[in-house]
Structure formats: structure tokens, C-alpha cells
Amino acid sequence: MTVFFYLSGFLITTLLRQEVMATGTVDFSTFYLRRVLRILPPFYIVLALACGLTVLRVLPGELNRAVVLAQSLHYSNYWFASHGYAGAPLGTVVYWSLAVEEHFYLLFPLVYLALTRTLSRRQQGVALWALCAAVCAWRCVLVLAYGVPEDRTYMASDTRFDSIIFGCALAVAMNPVLDPQRGSERLWKWLLLPAGLALLLVTFLWRPPWFRETIRYTLQGIGLTPLFVTAIRFPRWRLFRPLNWRLVAHFGVLTYSLYLVHQIVLYATGAYLKDYPAPMATALALGLSVLIALALHHVVERPCADLRRRLSRAEAIPQSRPLSQSIQVAIGATTGHPAPTGRQG
């Protein structure tokens, strides 16, 4: 989830920054309308499908109207943290992460425009990193002083915003898409990238509860920064070349719908294929998830994407370096904005 949040913050802030560079401001109504058209149609269709399958007993479990309302109104992260998961359609607990994103992007365009009006870009980056530190400190207080449960720090917006803000800070202060390269290629590939990967590995392997819910997300944000910079600056390097394969790029287009449906399909196939070997059931679930995601993409997402493009006012800023295909796909698929122009890798 930290990678998902970081990527989202980086992509959307990159595009907000482009818009400010091109127009001097942020068109808030267009920003929110684009986001509504990107996020909400598949969101509500999949939630309605899961509820319908539960009512028809295709999916096991019982529905709680209060839980479904929390999911529909984007506060399910706080509901789950306070009341647990009972009453949610099976496979839809992942909606908590979308609630975090909706809370963040309701506020961030206003914050970002205020930063651009009052601070230099370097100062903007410092301010965003300071916010990351403040969120980390808040998690430490909640865990070490008040002993809050893990779900509270894992799901709540006020304790997970920093995972998005780290990506925003990269987009503002040292954007590998928009800004000149800092540091040599050797420095990034053979020192900073290995250091970042080692830091990420530590956060995955060291499991004390106090660590996992206090500074783990902060260290992951730090570790992801050289990974993102290196992947974007050196897309033709052997390590990152697979990210630009056509099949990988195509799956990138489907990731949002896949994210919404995959657990629902897993629960459904698990309920009906109990006697089948696990690899067979998993393969079937993957195939069904991809087929449903493809259907959503063609029937729902592509028409909405066409409408978003017609509504888009932001003009891309020409770039002087190659931009990996994976980043182009992520920009279009995740945000609904046009990808930056220029020479493409």
C-alpha cells in the first residue's frame, strides 16, 4: 500500500505542478471532476456488484447497511479501524485505501496552490517532508503513548497521509520527470538505489509491532525515493526494462479495476472451489479478475477517460529526457490526466 500511495502522490503532484507551470493556477473544479470520473464509476459499480452477490448468496456473509454506507461515503477506513470488518461485502475491505486517497485529494490541491504562492520549490519540498515527519511523530504518540490498535494506524487517513506526501515531495523538490538530473548515474544506480532497496528490505523483515506502526512507513517513503528516481531516469537500464514491456504497460491500465475486484473474485472462487487444488483455484481467480477488469475498462473506464480528456485544460510541459512507458501508462491510468509530452522512452 505504501508504494501505491507514493506513486499516487508523485503522479498527481507532477501533473498539478505542470498545470501551475502552464496556467499559473489550479483549476479546482476540473481537477475534482476528473477525479470523480476516474475513481467513482468503477468504485460504485464494483461495490454494488459485491452487495448484489451477497444478497443473492453467491458471496457468503451478511451485509450491514452502516458499513456499506461508510464505504459509499468514503469513511470506511475509520469505520473498519473502530468497528472491524463484519458486515462489509467480502472482498471490499480494500476500499479503506481509497477513502484515504479521497480525504487527501480533497485537501491537497488547495494546500499545493498555497505552497506555490508562498514558497520556492525547494521550500515546498522541505514543507512537505516536514509534514511527513509530523505524521510519523503523531503515529509514535498514538502507538507508544496510547497503545492504539494496529488497524488505527494502518488505515486512518491522519496516520497514512505521509505515504502519499512523500511522493508529492519528490514531485515538487527533485522531480525526475521535470527537473534536471542531480547526481551522477553511478551514484543513483550503484549507491542510492541499493541503499533504498536495503532499507525497504529491513522494513519488510523486521516485524516488531512498535516498529511496524510507527516509523516503518516513514522509512519506506525514504527507501522508495531512489527507486522511483532511478526507474524514471533510466528506463532502458536492464533492471527496469521489463517495466516498459507492452504486456506490463497494458496491465498497468487495468490495475485500478483489478484492485477493486480481485479479492471479491478470490472469495467467490474460494467458496465454490474448496475441493480443487489451490493453484488451480488461484489461476481461475486471476483469469476471472482480468476478464472483469477488461470489461470494466472497455465499458466504463474508457468512455470516462474520453470525457476527462475533453475536460482537461492543463497543457503538458515539453521534456528533455526520455520518459518510461510505464510512467506514461501510470499517469493516464491513475489520474486521468494526459501524460507529459516530449521524447519518449
Q: Percent of the chain having pLDDT more than 90?
A: 75
The answer to pTM > 0.85 is: yes
| Cell reading at 15 | 501533473
Q: What are phi and psi of 216, to 5 degrees?
A: -60, -50
Q: What are phi and psi of 319, to 5 degrees?
A: -110, 160
pLDDT tens per residue across span 207-219 = 998 999 999 999 9
| Cell reading at 7 | 506513486
Which residue has better confidence, 342 or 241? 241
Separation of first and last alpha carbons in the chain: 27
User: Average model confidence (pLDDT) for the chain?
Assistant: 89
CA atoms within 13 A on the CB side of 337: 27
| Cell reading at 127 | 514543507
pLDDT tens per residue across span 50-95 = 999 999 988 988 999 999 999 999 999 999 999 999 999 999 999 9
Would you give the distance in Å from CA 279 to the centre of its chain?
Answer: 28
